[in-house]
Every structure is written in C-alpha cells, then in structure tokens.
Chain A
C-alpha cells in the first residue's frame, strides 16, 4: 500500500450542461413516474431504477456493479416535451435577449467596438480575471442600451433592424412590447433565437462561453435526473418507505411532462397545452429552487416546504457551510472538563474509557514491535491495548473478534499497522468552542487518568476561555506522523503562551495562584527548613537549589522571597510596579513593598501579584521569563512555581467571611448620613426642576439635564461611600486582599457588599419604566426621587428590601440581554473579517499577498515583525538591551 499522492485536484471548471452532454452522461431515460411495483421493487425506467445506483447493502449497482457504499451513483435523464427555462438563468436570458439583435443575432455593438472590447476581455482574462464580471456587465448594458448616460442605439449596428423591447414578468414570463401590444415569448422561441447566436466573440462578451456555456443551454430541453445517492429513500420503523424531497419533486415533473406530451401528441387546444407547459415550468423551477418569489413553495403532505437543490446548498447547515467547509471527523472525543493543577500546562487528562476508544495507528518496526505486541495482547478492553491490526495486504483484523490475541501478537511483523489505544505521551488537539482565536485549539500531551472528565491545568483556562461550571471540550487525535509532529512543534500549549494579539502572555496565574504568590512573597513570610523543603518538593524542585538561609539563629529561616527566587533563572533581572502600587512608592526603595525588584535571579523587594504573573499582563515577570528564556523555561516556571503558590496557600490558610465586609457601627452611621444628604440633594434638584428654575446644559433638554444632575449626585455619593468603606474595612481581610492584589473581585464589588449598591441603571438611565409615570406601584406617580428610580441604598451584607431587590434584578437582566445580543453581533463580524482576510499570507520576501498575487502589504506590518515574537508590539526592547549592557559596566 502506497501513501504517495497520485492525483490531486488542481481546479474545478464550471459550466452549463448541453442537452447532448446530459444524454451522454445519463445511463437511462426516465419514462414513468411510478417508483415501485406491488412487491415494493423499483420499477424499470422509473425514478428509483436500479441503474441509477443502489442504496441497499448487499445489492450491486446495475450500472457499475459496485456495492452500495462504493457506487458513486449515476445520472438519468428526462426528455422534456417542451423546453422550459432554468430558473436560475432567467435573468441572464433576458439580458441576452435585450443585448442581441432579433434579426441578425449579433450583439448590438458596432463591429469595431466588438473588436476592441474583445481584445480587452482577452487581456483581462490573462491578467485580472476578477475584473471580468464587471467589464462584461458594462458591455451587456451597452448592447442593451441601458447603460447610464448613454443613448441606446435605436437600430442594430449590424443589420439596421429596429431594436425591440423585452420585459421580464416575474417569475418566468418574457414579454416583447410591440406597438400593437404585449406578446409573450415562449421558451421554444427563445431557445431558437439563442441557438442562432453564432459569433463566438459576442458570446464571450456577454459573459457566456461558446464552449462551456452556450446561451441556449440555459433553457432545458432535457432534464438531468440526479442519482439515488443524492436522494436516498428512508425506511421508517413502521416499514414504510419515505422518499426524499427531490424524488417527490421529480415525480411531479415526470407526471406533468407526460401529460404535456400527451397533449402535444394529441394536438390539444393551445390553452390546454399552455396550462401543462406552465405547470411543467413551475415544477422544474421549484425542483431547482423552492423559494422563488412569485411561485408558491411546493409543500410536503405535512405542510413543510420541500428542501430542493438550492435549499440544500444554502445557509449554515447547507452543503457548503455545513458539509464542505466544515466536516465531521473520526478520532475525536468530547466530555466535561475539570481542573487538575498537578498536570503540567502541556498535558490533558484523558479518561481511561476514552483512551480505549480513540486509537493511533502505528506501523510495526524493530523498535516498537515488542510494545505493540504487548498492546495487541492487551486487546480492546484493557488499558493501553489495541483495537485493530492492518496487515500489509490491507486486511483489517478486529481484535475484539479474535479468539487468541497471543497468536495474533506473535504473528505481528514489520509493516503491520497496529491501531493502538491512546496512551501517555501521545499528542492530541484540544479545543473549546467558540474557537475565536488560534489558542482555542492547542496540542496537549495525553495523560490517561481514571474518571470521566478531561482534566487540564487551570492556568490554561484563559486562552480557551474555559471554566469548570459544566464546560465541555473536544479532543482530536492526529493520525499521521506529520500531523503529530506539526502539532507538537507548532501547537503545543507552551508554544502559545505569548498571544499574537498583543504580544504578551495569555497563559498565566489567576485567582488562588495570585493569592498564594502574594502571601508567599509578602514581607514577613518566613519558612523553616522543613516548611521550605516541603514546599519545594511539592512543586517538584530539586532541594539542591535551596539558598543559604536569611536568618540562621536561633534557627535557620528563609524568607518567602527567597523561596520564590528558587524558581527564577539565576541571571534574571527585572523590575516593575506591583498591582497594589502605593502612591508614594519610591521604586526599589519602596517602603510598602510594592516595587518588584529582581537582581540576578533574587527577588529583593516587592510582592508578586497579578501585575507580575497574571494572565494577559504584558511586560510582566512572566512575559520576560517566556520571552527571554524560551517557552521551556516559561512552562517550567508555570508548572512549578504555581504549584508552590497553591501549596503555600493551602498551608497558610485563606478564606473570605462575612466579617470581611462588615463595617463598624459608626461607619455605617456615617454612610447612612451620606445617603440622607444625597437624597436631600436630589430632593433639592427636584424642587429646582419643578419650579422650572433649572438651567439646561448646552445640547440637552431640561429633563435630560435634571437626570444627569441626579445621576452625578448619586454616583458621587457611591464613590464617597466606597472610599469611606475601603478605609474602614479590615485591611488584612481575605476579600480586600484579593481585590488589592488582583486575584478576584474589585473595589466596586467590595463597596457593594459592605456599604452600598448604588444607582441601578437600565440603558444608561435611571429606571423609569413599568407603570404609568412610576417604576413600581409603591411610589406616587411622578416621583422623581432617588429611591423611586432605582437607587439602592442597602448593601449586600445588610440585605435589600423587596423594592431594591426588584430594581437590582432589572439591572442584572439588562446585563444578560446585553451579552446575548453582543455575542451574535461580534460573531458575525468575526466571520466576515476572517472570510475577508483568510487567504492572505506572508511570502518569502515578507510581502503579504492574496492567492491571485495581489499585494496587500509590501512588508508585513511595515517592519516584518511577528507580533507574537515581538515585545508587546515593539520589535526590539531597546531599554532592556541598553540597561543590560550598561549595568554590566
């Protein structure tokens, strides 16, 4: 068996089918509309004829002799009694009729211009094929005399016959406007005229093609009947057959065609013939497209409109978007995810059950034969076994049907392929929808674990935007060695730490990692030898790296900063502000321990918090680590140091309690006082407004001005109360610490919990809707006071009264609606952006081009720098270099 590529699709030619071609590619002519005989067998010459392909297992196709899953299907054809228009081409037909002389059948453009235009067309074909369509449209318009700003030639420039007027009456009636009245042009007449267009240049200038798309082929005289694989019938549980929509439509066509044929042969009255002819036109049109304006859609017995050809292609679940651009795949799995901080960020925990279903094909050679024999012996039901063997002759052996697997294992030889179970160390792709950026699919290394969920290191949640409230993720197993190698080199998680969006780390610490880091590196953290050793062992660091203790008497003690420094490269220098930065921080001499200062791999001052190791923080410690020391060092830091943070936090203890958000009674008192003052101010404003003494702000109405003033007062009071509360909260409490160091929550959350929730806004305004002139019936009509319009003076800790609760819920609801609306809007925008830009790539000369060679940028980004390799957008970190070289001095 050879893997070499023998054939590759280089292009697809589109065109119209000529009647001859339709007959040639057909294996049979359809002659009857009946499908099955009384025994339920397909009728010969009917729409289900066996020669059109076979659907049932075990049967062979009567044309090609292949089995049901091999036969590609074969077209039949139906000779139409009278020609009908192809509904998709009617517009073009009318265009052609308008542009062509009905006497000499030439394009109504003077000969010299035809020569000129044709030369231009040929040039465009060679150089700018994307412009042909526009050019041709102009030529056709000129010939039809409908080009704006130009007068139509009243006569044909070739034969001098007067131009006629053509009109399309939707959907398919073509009418010639004669002085004596409108006359209908029948498809057979039009067919005749189109056939007589002979000049090949004319045909091309009309946007058609003399070889592949003759104008008359837009009218159907023979209908190709699609093979059975395109319209399979289903057998229902009840044993009844249910036919495909297309088959139903074809039955209509064949039946109508038969009637029409009878009428023609019998020489029926013109009106009768026309009736059946129109009906045939209708059926053929809806066979192609069942959503034509002017035609009622054909419906199924149940009232559901039929899904005919156009409907099958269209839309999100149509053939193009649903089956061709996006395909269903094998070797994939999906389940709920859960966290496991003991894995490295590169790993994914795969449930044992899944590992026994997903397989990797491995070719037997002298290096792996023993391992693969063992896998075969274990078989499909044991962990790290195998499911199938492919022999060199291509025969597949299903190991679940083999009686003695030992025998098969012993028979294993070079060039056999074993489809073995997924095992530790295999490379897989891991994905979470919506896949908004390239970090939504990354390669992980398999760790087979007990349980039923995929496990991942919580530090990789940000790129996937995953959490563990029931999220599910998908896993794919690359089968070829090329794919595995590519995944490992390009897509492995550690290669994706730096995001191409902003050139900073997208993987990093969140929540407890940050809290742990803070407590570990905080001033005053001291570790005894056994504590330190436990910490380092828990995070997988060699104990050789323990530095001399900071304090040696009465016992050896190490600072938390020393413990943290163990994880840093010995030559690292770094300085930056921390998240808590105090306003009079004196940089490296900061008294508040707010300035992170690292020299030669030693954290000398500063606490490590979100700014230093958090996700999405450019120019942070983590960023420098990954950028300057490579992704291996970066990954190692995340794996080990982060474990230390968690370990330290576990043993340090950390919690958040109600006490954290309770304020002393006197503070509560002054808060209430502030609220009362604010409410009084609002009352005053109402008074001023009511008396009509308010001066409107420029560009605003009186009411808008009033509302804005009130909002200002209420926002201000919340800010003031927030500051007051922040100063009186327990500074050492878990809640406040988290907000300060950036691990969870912010000051606003704390204010709302401890002191006051503040004004609830819906659509940026105070709440005013609900009842006539009031938001709730608990207030008087027209009450413009603070509380009547959604000001919530309670805090979460104190509790909300029912009215406040309602207002608060209204604000919360807006947030939900907002998110729902936004996702769909931004999703569509992104789809369009990707569709516009997806074909652009960097060439070897660093220019950015489209596949047809159009240059979009002469040098990518003007400096050729890849943002993911840049320093937060900068090509070169000049400051760093200068500092490094100069400080060496």
Chain B
C-alpha cells in the first residue's frame, strides 16, 4: 500500500477506539487473535456501549474462541489434503479463462492447481500484475509510459523485410515502429553485434546501410547458416524486459479517492520476470507481483513464496466457486516451504521429508526405496500413518496418540 494510504488510515484511529481496544485487550487477557480484536473495535467504537455490555461481549468472544480451538492429535494434514483435493473433482477442466483481460488467457482450474502443487519452475502461462507508483498510476498515458519500458521489443518487432544472399543478410527496418518504440538504428546494430557468436560461421561484420537498414556480411556464410543467423538476430531484444511478450493496461476503482482520482491503472503482462520489473522506473515495488511462485521465491524469499502459494491456490479455488478454509491451504504451503526451499508435492518432494522406509515404499518407486534402505541398514521406527497401518499398530493420531504406561513384563504374570 502506498504511503499516503496508510497515513490516511492511521489518522482515522480515534481516541475512543484506542480506549476500547485497550479495554478489550485487558478483558480478554490478550487471548483473542488480532483480526477478532480489530473487528470488535470497529463494531463497538461506532456505538456507545456500557462497560458491562462490553465485558459481556468480550467474555462471549473469548468463550467462542476457546471453544473453536483444535484438539491435540487432530490429523490436520489429512484434513488439509482432503479439503484441497476433494474440490479438484468438482473442477471443470476448462483450462482457459479470462483474468480480467479479454485478450489474454491464463491457466486456471485443475491444471493450475496441479502446477502450483508440483512447484514447477515456470507456470504454463506466466503473468505479472504490475502496479504503478503515484506518478504513473492515475492516467492511461502515464501508465502507458511504464508499459513501454516493460514490453519486450526485439528486432522482429521493428522489422519490415529481410534479404538473404550469399555471404550477406540485409535487414530493412520499419521507421514507424522504430519511432513508436523510440529505438535508433545504432542501438539495433550494437545489440545485433553483441549477439553474434565467435564461431567462424557467425563471425561477421555488421554495417549500416542507411537510416533504417543494416547488413551482416560474412564471406563464408552459406544459405543455411544465414537462416540460422537470421533467426538469432530476429529474437535479439532491443528494449524492455526479456520474456514479456505482451502488456495490457487495466484500470480498477480505488477503495477511497486519492488526490481527486477514483481509479488507478495497472499493467498485466504476458511473460514474467519479477526481478527486472522491480527495477523499472514507475513500478510500485510493494504491490507488484507475478504468478510465477519460483520467481517470487528467488526475488523476495521463501516467506513471500509461501504467501504466494496460499494466494494462488485460494485464487484458483475461488475462481471456480469452491470454498476452502485458508488454514488448509496455509498448512500445505507451510509444508512446501518448511525447508527453506520450495518442496514439490511429488515423489521427490514427499520422500525427502519422510524417514520411514515403509511409507516411502508404499508411495511410489517401491523397490528402490527398499534396496536403498537395506544398503544403508536403516531402521524404520514406525511413527507415521502408513507404517503403522502396515504393521498393524494404532495410528499415532487422535485417539491413537495417547499411550498408556504399562509394564509389559509385569503384565505377563497376570
């Protein structure tokens, strides 16, 4: 959130609200979680309420809160897995859906859910939501300026025509497009020079023909290497962020008017590179985000990645009209990020966390786990669910978690 907004919010905190907050904290012996207290303050500061009534409210809130606590031994993992997995069956396989922008499709539904859970390095449709700073967020033109800085422009975007001959390649550029993107021929030539390799077939000189064309000359260049070089040159990025192939300007209503504006502009991109976009002038770094969780992990760290996993899963489920409690999703996200890296929910990720040989063997790649266990003379201490089922012990959860201290030897003489 921008500084101005937070400032405004703070000034709204009134004296009676502070007092009520204080009273609530005292009355509840600091038991209530913050969101509950916030909501109480919000509701109660609006009306006058007697001390006795306030006490009654807080007492009831604390009672309800304590009543809703989890029982020790609750198998929250299984419940979370079921709660995330069960709606999967109800999802439509309708892969594509509009994400606000009509022209752009993002993967959603079950495939997206699987993608997140698999912790793929890059999603099938990477996309960023770029929020803008106060200088650029209020008009379309200003937003467009930032969008131009982000959008990748490669040689093929400003190209008119190519001529391939023996030993040379001529590129004729489109003056209009060049102007539109503000690119000069010298820039293009520099970039093209930089991209050419050092091998014999690629070692070539680049010469300026006129203001809008240049030629690559190499005596040894054959037709086929010519085509290869052509492809290479065409994809040379001249400007913007590599990988961002499209940008869309979108606007949204502000929750409260700011400096006389009641809506703001933001950019949705096709293609994602969070590290680079955060360096672009005009971008609000505190709000800009991507749907590529791995990028978030690399740029902002594991905690941010955890939040992103939660958010992406919730968004995917919500879009399909399915309700799942955040607690389940957050448990899954915490499991995935517990090691400091993103651990996928696949056979690799799962067997990393498991110490039990039998549990690993019962999941996937049975035989290799058993052989490895034999080689390193492992011991399975049978503390998990699967192992307990296999040997016929009680499951160490819920009612099976409690143990009686019994002297078995003494019992034999009974």
Instruction: Scan A64-106; emit 1 where CB is below 8 A from any B CB, else 0.
Output: 0000000000000000000000001100100000000000000
A1 at the binding interface (Cβ < 8 Å): no
Q: List residues 802-844 of chain A with CB under 8 A from any CB of chain B.
A: 818, 821-823, 825-827, 829-830, 832-844
Q: Are A6 and B408 in contact (CB under 8 A)?
A: yes
A-B contact count (CB 8 A): 347
- Closest Cβ of chain A to B58, distance in Å, is 9
Decide if A867 touches B325 in the complex (CB within 8 Å): yes
**Contact yes or no, A822 B93, CB < 8 A:** yes
Q: List residues of chain A with CB within 8 A of the CB of B93.
A: 818, 821-822
* B363 contacts A by Cβ under 8 Å: yes
Q: Does B210 contact A (CB under 8 A)?
A: no
- The answer to whether B82 and A834 have CB atoms under 8 Å apart is yes
B366 adjacent to A318 (CB under 8 Å)? yes
A877 at the interface (CB under 8 A from B): yes
List A residues 855-889 near B (Cβ within 8 Å): 856-857, 860-867, 869-871, 873, 875-879, 881-882, 884-886, 889
Given A438-B78, A697-B102, A882-B44, output 18 extra A-B contacts at Cβ < 8 Å.
A6-B411, A313-B361, A320-B366, A436-B85, A490-B398, A501-B323, A698-B103, A830-B88, A833-B81, A834-B82, A836-B350, A837-B331, A838-B384, A838-B385, A851-B383, A857-B334, A861-B327, A867-B328
Which residues of B lie under 8 Å from residue A265 when comparing CB positions?
none
B312 nearest CB across to chain A (Å): 15
Note all chain B residues with C-beta closer than 8 A to A878.
Answer: 36, 39-40, 43, 61
Question: Does A208 sit at the interface, judged by CB under 8 A?
Answer: yes
Query: Judging by beta carbons under 8 Å apart, are B110 and A866 in contact?
Result: no
- Kindly identify which residue among A500, A840, A841, A881 contacts B325, using a CB–CB cutoff of 8 Å: A500
Residue A192 lies at the interface, judged by CB distance under 8 Å to chain B: no
Q: Let me know if A341 is at the binding interface, CB within 8 A.
A: no
Best-buried of A4, A501, A846, A864 by chain B (most CB within 10 Å): A501
Known pairs A12-B358, A213-B377, A857-B334; A314 contacts B366 (CB<8 A): yes
B49 to chain A, nearest CB (A): 7
Among the stretches B64-72, B177-185, B215-223, B278-286, the one at the interface with A is B64-72
Given contacts A2-B414, A835-B350, contact A875 B83 (CB under 8 A): no
Residues of A in contact (CB 8 Å), total 109
- The reply to whether B383 and A833 form a contact with Cβ atoms under 8 Å apart is no
The 0/1 profile, CB within 8 Å of A marked 1, for residues 55-95 of chain B is: 01100110011011111111111111111111111011110
Choose among B71, B355, B373, B382 the residue with the greatest number of A CB atoms under 10 Å from its CB.
Answer: B355
Stretch of A126-134, A252-260, A644-652 on the interface side: A126-134
How far does the alpha carbon of A504 sit from the alpha carbon of B83 in the complex, in Å?
A: 13
A637 at the interface (CB under 8 A from B): no
A-contacting residues of B (Cβ < 8 Å)? 32-33, 35-36, 39-40, 43-44, 47, 49, 53, 56-57, 60-61, 64-65, 67-89, 91-94, 96, 102-104, 110, 113-114, 117, 246, 248, 270, 323-328, 330-332, 334-335, 338, 345-347, 349-350, 352-359, 361-363, 366-368, 370-386, 389-393, 396-399, 401, 406, 408, 411-412, 414
Instruction: Return chain B residues, CB-CB under 8 Å to A5.
Output: 406, 408
Chain A residues in 8 Å Cβ range of B382: 9-12
Residues in chain A within 8 A of chain B (CB atoms): 2, 4-16, 88-89, 92, 129-130, 132-133, 136, 207-209, 211-213, 218, 289, 310, 313-315, 318, 320-321, 324-325, 434, 436-438, 486, 490, 500-504, 618, 697-700, 764, 818, 821-823, 825-827, 829-830, 832-844, 846, 848, 850-852, 854, 856-857, 860-867, 869-871, 873, 875-879, 881-882, 884-886, 889
Query: Are A133 and B353 touching (Cβ within 8 A)?
Result: no
Which of B270, B362, B390, B397 has a CB less than 8 Å from the CB of A841? B397
Chain B residues with CB under 8 Å of A864's CB are 69-70
B113:A829 contact, CB within 8 angstroms = yes
Are B83 and A501 neighbours in the complex by a CB distance under 8 Å?
yes
Q: Are A863 and B33 in contact (CB under 8 A)?
A: yes
Max count, chain B CB within 10 A of own CB: residue among A13, A310, A860: A860
- Set B40, B43, B64, B70: member contacting A860, Cβ < 8 A: B70
Would you call B331 and A823 a contact (CB within 8 A)? no
Across-interface contacts of B61 in A (CB, < 8 A): 876, 878, 881
Q: Could you say which of B323, B357, B374 has the most chain A C-beta atoms within 10 Å of its C-beta?
A: B374
Q: What are 19 A-B residue pairs whose CB atoms fall within 8 Å in the complex?
A: A11-B382, A14-B380, A313-B367, A325-B362, A436-B89, A438-B79, A698-B246, A700-B103, A822-B88, A826-B85, A826-B91, A827-B89, A835-B386, A840-B331, A842-B73, A846-B72, A856-B335, A876-B64, A881-B61
B328 touches A885 (CB 8 A): no
Of the candidates A11, A764, A822, which one forms a contact with B380 in the assembled complex, judged by CB atoms under 8 Å apart? Answer: A11
Complex contact A842–B71 (CB within 8 A) = yes
Contact B89 A14 (CB under 8 A): no
CA distance A861 to B87 in the complex (A): 20
Name the contact of B375 in the complex, choosing from A207, A834, A861, A865 (C-beta under 8 A).
A207
- The residues of A that contact B86 with a CB separation of less than 8 Å are 436-437, 501, 830
> Which residue from chain B places its CB closest to the CB of A323 in the assembled complex?
B390
Whether A834 and B85, one on each chain, are in contact in the complex, defined by CB atoms closer than 8 angstroms, is: yes
Measured in the bound complex, the distance between the Cα atoms of B412 and A502 in whole Å is 49
B67, B77, B248, B389: which contacts A840 (Cβ < 8 A)? B77
B327, A865: Cβ atoms closer than 8 Å: yes
Judge whether B68 and A882 touch: CB under 8 Å: no
Q: Decide yes or no: A841 and B350 within 8 Å by CB, A324-B362, A885-B56 being known contacts.
A: no
A224 smallest CB distance to B (angstroms): 13
Contact (Cβ within 8 A) A324 B389: yes
Q: By the criterion CB–CB under 8 Å, are A699 and B81 in contact?
A: no
Q: Is the CB of B384 within 8 A of A851?
A: yes
3 closest A-B pairs by CB: A830-B85, A840-B77, A826-B88
**Closest chain A CB from B128 CB (angstroms):** 16
* Option from A133, A209, A850 in Cβ contact (under 8 Å) with B372: A133
Given the contacts A314-B366, A865-B327, A876-B64, A837 and B73 also touching, CB distance less than 8 Å: no
Q: Write the chain A residue with the least CB distance to B44.
A: A882
Q: Given the known A-B contacts A861-B327, A864-B69, A881-B60, are A486 and B77 also in contact in the complex, defined by CB atoms under 8 Å? A: no
Residues of A contacting B83 in the complex (Cβ-Cβ under 8 angstroms):
437, 500-502, 867
| Least CB distance, B334 to chain A, in whole angstroms | 5
Assembled-state Cα–Cα distance A848/B56 (Å): 33
Residues of A within 8 A of B113 (CB): 829
Q: Are B70 and A504 in contact, with the CB atoms below 8 A?
A: no
User: Which partner residue on chain B sits nearest A208 by CB separation?
Assistant: B375
Quick check: A833 and B117 within 8 Å, CB to CB? yes
Q: Are A882 and B57 closer than 8 Å at their CB atoms?
A: yes
